[in-house]
Amino acid sequence: MTSTPTRTAEFRPSESEVPTASGPRSLGTLSRRAAAALSFRTVGAVYVWLLIIVLFSVWAPDTFPTVTTVKQVLNGNAVAGLVALSLVLPLAARVFDLSVAYTMSLTSVLTAHFLVSTGLGPGAAIALAMTAALVVGVVNGVVVVVLRVDSFIATLATGALIQSLITMVTDDSSITGVQLLAKPFADIAQLDAGGITLPVLYLLLAATAIWFLLEHTATGRRLYATGFNADAARLQGVRTNRLRFLTLVTSALVSGFAGVVFASSVGSGSPSAGTPYLLSAYAAAFVGATQLRAGRFNAWGTVIAVLLLGTGITGLGLATSAQWAASLFTGAVLIVALVLTGGRITLPAVLRRHKAPTVAEADDVSVPDKEFT
């Protein structure tokens, strides 16, 4: 009869003893993560934003550092933020959509037209306008993905077609009427809580949805993979064409919604409503790509960039500066922000032209692609 061998008793440290060994290491890791998260390379635009706030607080101490100014910046840049966010998903997949400004103008005009000229209710008018935006997105997707036309040229051509339709409907004149000033349509953009209007809430909701999609879903990882290297993503089974198609549709819907909000905000349908937003939207998206998730187009970085530019332009207005100062400020901030925060993205590429990469450098370059395999 054999006896069953017994396992030798093992020493297991008590729970009170474990933190004494790992505690300093954990604190060091947390401190390094906090330092990285707050570094100028990660949130440089935030520091530039704070510097702008201090500058205008000294320049215009009676008008700028007030709660009213804060509300003005938020309310006045909510639509611009929506247009900028409409670009994040296409750009993440390396697709340009230059038709967003025209789509915004189209929905603004169509909503006003259906409300004033046809007598439809706000719900039906908005639904028809958003259907038109959906059609624009589908057409862009077909031309870019199915017909394989370069997205930059294709969406620019689509924008020209949209502008011709807008001119046909409006004869280049804004559409006005009491229906646009009456409730419930006016409440879409003019209803407020504590001085903060609803478009600010729309901006936060859109940013949260895009952030969640890109950072916490497999679809988001596939979008980034498509943008980084579409051929490699395709070999891994990612349906890159479908993703690019859907980003164009989403972009049209978001910019179309911005047009509806704009029409409710100003009480008219303008044939050039989206034109002033195109350059600033792309500027905010590209500056936002240098923040938080360096090298990746992301929602909250874009929102930070929009508010940075909006704060400076509002400050210049309150300081009673010349009219040309706003454009000068926008261009200067964009150049400085991209040089200071975005320069690190292109620097390794410049260095690699002059010397062969080491093994460690080669490993570092391949890290982003491993995330999507």
Task: Over range 85-93, report the average pLDDT.
Answer: 96
Cα 322-196-184 angle, rounded to 5 deg: 110
d(C-alpha 145, C-alpha 352), whole Å: 33
Q: What is residue 338's predicted lDDT score, i.e. its pLDDT? A: 61
Q: What is residue 27's predicted lDDT score, i.e. its pLDDT? A: 75
- pLDDT higher than threshold 50 for residue 74: yes
d(C-alpha 221, C-alpha 285), whole Å: 19
> Token pair for residue 178?
């009491």
Q: What is residue 279's predicted lDDT score, i.e. its pLDDT? A: 85
What count of other Cβ atoms lies within 10 Å of the Cβ of residue 27? Answer: 10
* Reported pTM: 0.82
Q: Are 95 and 344 in contact (CB under 8 A)?
A: no
Q: What is residue 372's predicted lDDT score, i.e. its pLDDT? A: 41
Place of tokens 């990660």: 42
Share of the chain above pLDDT 70, in %: 82
* Among the ranges given (57-66, 236-245, 250-259), the one the predictor scored with the smallest mean pLDDT: 57-66
Q: Are 190 and 208 in contact (CB under 8 A)?
A: no
Mean pLDDT of the chain: 84
Residue range 26-72, pLDDT digits in tens = 777 877 877 777 777 778 788 888 998 999 999 889 889 999 999 99
d(C-alpha 365, C-alpha 345), whole Å: 12
Task: Band the pLDDT of 155: cuts 50, 70, 90.
Answer: very high
Residue range 261-297, pLDDT digits in tens = 999 999 999 999 999 899 889 989 988 988 888 789 9
